[in-house]
């Protein structure tokens, strides 16, 4: 789509066409919705002023990148967004050269832009990185690490701050808006240069502060003082839905030849009145009816997240030492109702996983029982803090790992495949997993009274209802669910137990089924006894093969010199792509029917 030659009126028409296309497709496929509708005009402004074939276009998290995809040759294929083998819901360079970088986690954009600006400086190629970052992403420390260096380097980077929820600092009416633009205009930039020249060449020593005070007095009444103090020029706030104002401002920012933040006020869900405003449930949606806004909900069993939320709520009611934290995902992790009921004991710390972990380590040190509720994919961001602040101190922090395993349409950046691998080698860490809703409740009861670090994982969606009666957790104890007559044992972990059961039903022989329950520590005695009657173990777990459950069993076999062959049906050495969960499992060859055929 050629944006460069279009008038403002034509761009406004294009904006409407883009919104209509997003509403049409997302209402059928699901996906990120309100954030991407709110970014349409800003994206058009980026493409009008900058060249995505030359200037790096960077989208933080990139859940607001749908307009960018539609502008850059993916209009027809957009109907496949988030579908198996279709377009990704995030930016992806393998999909288009217009996508500079993969992004699915927040607050990486400014660091990427600094790196791109350094490369441009070395190559002297005139490229100007331009990025869009939401105000929520500004809560992460990585942003300020990048701004700190950028303010020192002074390399040209244009940062569009898409402020759709909260103001960084409340502007003081029309005067503030006018002065903010004035500060970035030719008059002010020329004034500042002249001040510097006069100070260096003509002002007597000891009087230069007078000139500087003139400049500072203007800056102090604008909302951009925090950025100006870091060495980043600031423009705004501007209307993020006024294309003419956006284009004018971005041209100004580009021509400054230095780092600039353009603060744009936008409305989430803009153009679809039902979703306009700060409604968390419209951020990421399933299929819905466009006319009514009603979601097409599927009837089914209670989701694991809801089971977790209710169980933790009951523990918190009984024990006032139970506390908890989430990092910007209160409803996603089910901790929202605990924050509402116990506001002095449960917190949302925004996109700050490192801070979340370390703050709970301190609470554990002071005698509380913290539960860190977090998606598997986001727990990666607090990895050093788990090692240094929790495990090294051997503190009783419980990590409640939601979305473990395949999560579906969000794809590579969100699949929960690595948590077992990166937690299992940590000293003092205990890892266990429930197989169904009841054992998830038992898992939390066990964790509440556990005296050292531990982590419990559970899947997105609902557990399968199993015919095997649940039992309480005991440290390091596995459970034999069925004793078979063959030399084969099916060893399941967490949600993998149901896959083991379903696979065994399709086999001709009666095989032993084990719920491992703990991957660290392993139940050595039970497994050693098992090796006396079985010599082929098949491993079922929704996790990465490298460093996973199968690896733990192989280590035991080596240490104890057991005569057993292990075959793991965990995920292979790759990033699992996006798509419907069942289609992904079929592609990986791990559906029960496929596994039964492989075993036979």
pLDDT at residue 517 in the model: 98
| Catalytic member of 19, 92, 268, 457 | 268
Question: Is the CB of residue 234 less than 8 Å from the CB of residue 227?
Answer: yes
SS3 state at 69: helix
DSSP designation for 38: T
pLDDT at residue 336 in the model: 95
List C-alpha distances in Å: 150 to 118, 224, 258.
10, 16, 9
For CA atoms 389, 393, 394, 397, the dihedral sign is: negative
CB burial of residue 456 (10 Å; 0-12, 13-18, 19+) = buried
353 a catalytic residue: yes
Task: Kindly report whether the peptide bond that precedes residue 521 is cis, defined as omega within 30 degrees of 0.
Answer: yes
Q: What is the largest CA-CA distance in the chain?
A: 97
Question: Is the CB of residue 356 less than 8 Å from the CB of residue 382?
Answer: yes
d(CA 196, CA 203): 10
Tokens at residue 122, please?
């070395």
User: How many CB atoms are located within 10 Å of the residue 487 CB?
Assistant: 13
pLDDT at residue 216 in the model: 55
228 a catalytic residue: no
Per-residue pLDDT of the chain (600 residues), as tens digits, is 889 999 999 999 999 999 999 999 999 999 999 999 999 999 999 999 999 999 999 999 889 999 999 999 999 999 999 999 999 999 999 999 999 999 989 999 999 999 999 999 999 999 999 999 998 888 888 999 999 999 999 999 999 999 986 544 454 455 445 545 555 555 555 656 665 666 566 666 665 565 565 555 545 445 677 888 889 999 988 999 999 999 999 999 999 999 999 999 999 999 999 999 877 789 889 999 999 999 987 777 899 999 999 999 999 999 999 999 999 999 999 999 999 999 999 999 999 999 999 999 999 999 999 999 999 999 999 999 999 999 999 999 999 999 999 999 999 999 999 999 999 999 999 999 999 999 999 999 999 999 999 999 999 999 999 999 999 999 999 999 999 999 999 999 999 999 999 999 999 999 999 999 999 999 999 999 999 999 999 999 999 999 999 999 999 999 999 999 999 999 999 999 999 999 999 999 999 999 999 998
pLDDT at residue 172 in the model: 44
d(CA 50, CA 116): 15
381 a catalytic residue: yes
Q: Which residue has the tokens 């240069």?
A: 193
pLDDT at residue 280 in the model: 77
d(CA 587, CA 523): 32
Q: Which helix (H) or strand (E) holds 36?
A: helix 34-37
In 26-149, DSSP assigns E strands to 31-32, 57-59, 130-134
Question: Is the CB of residue 402 less than 8 Å from the CB of residue 305?
Answer: yes
**502 backbone dihedrals φ, ψ, rounded to 5°:** -65, -35
List C-alpha distances in Å: 441 to 115, 446, 521.
46, 9, 20
Angle between helices 173-184 and 186-201 in degrees, nearest 10: 60
User: How many CB atoms are located within 10 Å of the residue 166 CB?
Assistant: 11
Question: Is the CB of residue 71 less than 8 Å from the CB of residue 129?
Answer: no
d(CA 16, CA 22): 10
In 221-281, DSSP assigns E strands to 233-239, 260-265
pLDDT at residue 300 in the model: 79
The secondary structure of 312-370 as a DSSP string is HHHHHHH-TTEEEEESS-HHHHT-HHHHHH-TTTEEE--S-HHHHHHHHHHHHHTT-EE
Angle between helices 8-29 and 243-256 in degrees, nearest 10: 100
| Catalytic member of 353, 479, 504, 570 | 353
| Catalytic member of 381, 403, 424, 517 | 381
List C-alpha distances in Å: 445 to 287, 308, 434, 449, 584.
36, 11, 12, 7, 33
**Phi-psi label, residue 369: left if phi above 0, alpha if psi -120 to 50, beta otherwise:** beta
């Amino acid at each position: 789509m050629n944006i460069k030659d279009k008038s403002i009126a034509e761009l406004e028409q294009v904006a409407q066409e883009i919104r209509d296309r997003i509403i049409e497709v997302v209402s059928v496929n699901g996906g990120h919705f309100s954030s991407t509708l709110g970014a349409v005009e800003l994206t058009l402004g980026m493409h009008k002023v900058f060249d995505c074939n030359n200037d790096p276009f960077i989208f933080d998290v990139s859940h607001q990148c749908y307009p960018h995809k539609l502008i850059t040759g993916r209009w027809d294929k957009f109907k496949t967004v988030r579908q198996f083998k279709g377009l990704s819901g995030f930016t992806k360079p393998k999909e288009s050269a217009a996508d500079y970088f993969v992004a699915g986690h927040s607050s990486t954009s400014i660091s990427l832009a600094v790196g791109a600006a350094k490369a441009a400086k070395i190559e002297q190629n005139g490229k100007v990185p331009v990025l869009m970052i939401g105000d929520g992403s500004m809560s992460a420390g990585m942003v300020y690490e990048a701004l700190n260096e950028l303010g020192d380097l002074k390399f040209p980077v244009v940062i569009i701050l898409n402020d759709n929820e909260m103001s960084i600092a409340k502007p003081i009416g029309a005067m503030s808006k006018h002065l903010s633009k004035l500060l970035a205009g030719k008059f002010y930039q020329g004034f500042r240069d002249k001040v510097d020249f006069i100070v260096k060449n003509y002002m007597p020593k000891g009087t230069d502060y007078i000139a500087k005070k003139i400049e500072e007095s203007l800056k102090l009444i604008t909302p951009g003082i925090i950025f100006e103090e870091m060495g980043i020029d600031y423009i705004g706030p501007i209307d993020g839905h006024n294309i003419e104002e956006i284009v004018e401002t971005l041209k100004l920012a580009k021509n400054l030849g230095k780092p600039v933040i353009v603060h744009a006020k936008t409305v989430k869900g803009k153009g679809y009145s039902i979703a306009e405003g700060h409604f968390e449930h419209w951020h990421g949606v399933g299929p819905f009816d466009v006319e009514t806004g009603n979601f097409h909900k599927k009837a089914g069993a209670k989701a694991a997240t809801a089971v977790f939320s209710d169980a933790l709520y009951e523990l918190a009611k009984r024990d006032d030492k139970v506390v908890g934290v989430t990092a910007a995902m209160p409803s996603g992790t089910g901790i929202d109702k605990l924050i509402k009921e116990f506001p002095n004991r449960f917190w949302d710390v925004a996109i700050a996983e490192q801070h979340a972990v370390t703050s709970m380590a301190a609470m554990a040190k002071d005698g509380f029982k913290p539960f860190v509720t977090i998606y598997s994919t986001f727990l990666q961001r607090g990895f050093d803090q788990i090692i240094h602040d929790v495990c090294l101190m051997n503190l009783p922090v419980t990590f409640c790992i939601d979305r473990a395993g395949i999560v579906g349409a969000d794809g590579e950046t969100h699949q929960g495949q690595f948590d077992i691998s990166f937690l299992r080698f940590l000293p003092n860490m205990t890892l266990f997993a429930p197989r169904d809703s009841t054992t998830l409740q038992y898992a939390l009861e066990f964790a509440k009274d556990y005296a050292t670090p531990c982590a419990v994982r559970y899947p997105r969606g609902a557990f399968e209802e199993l015919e095997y009666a649940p039992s309480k957790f005991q440290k390091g104890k596995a459970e034999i669910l069925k004793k078979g007559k063959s030399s084969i044992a099916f060893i399941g972990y967490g949600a993998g137990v149901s896959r083991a059961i379903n696979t065994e039903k399709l086999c001709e022989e009666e095989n032993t089924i084990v719920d491992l329950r703990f991957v660290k520590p392993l139940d050595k005695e039970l497994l050693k006894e098992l090796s006396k009657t079985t010599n082929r173990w098949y491993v079922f777990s929704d996790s990465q093969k490298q460093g996973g459950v199968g690896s733990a069993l192989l280590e035991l076999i080596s240490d104890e010199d057991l005569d057993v062959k292990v075959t793991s049906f965990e995920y292979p050495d790759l990033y699992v792509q996006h798509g419907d969960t069942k289609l992904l499992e079929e592609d990986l060859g791990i559906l029960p029917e496929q596994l039964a055929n492989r075993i036979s």
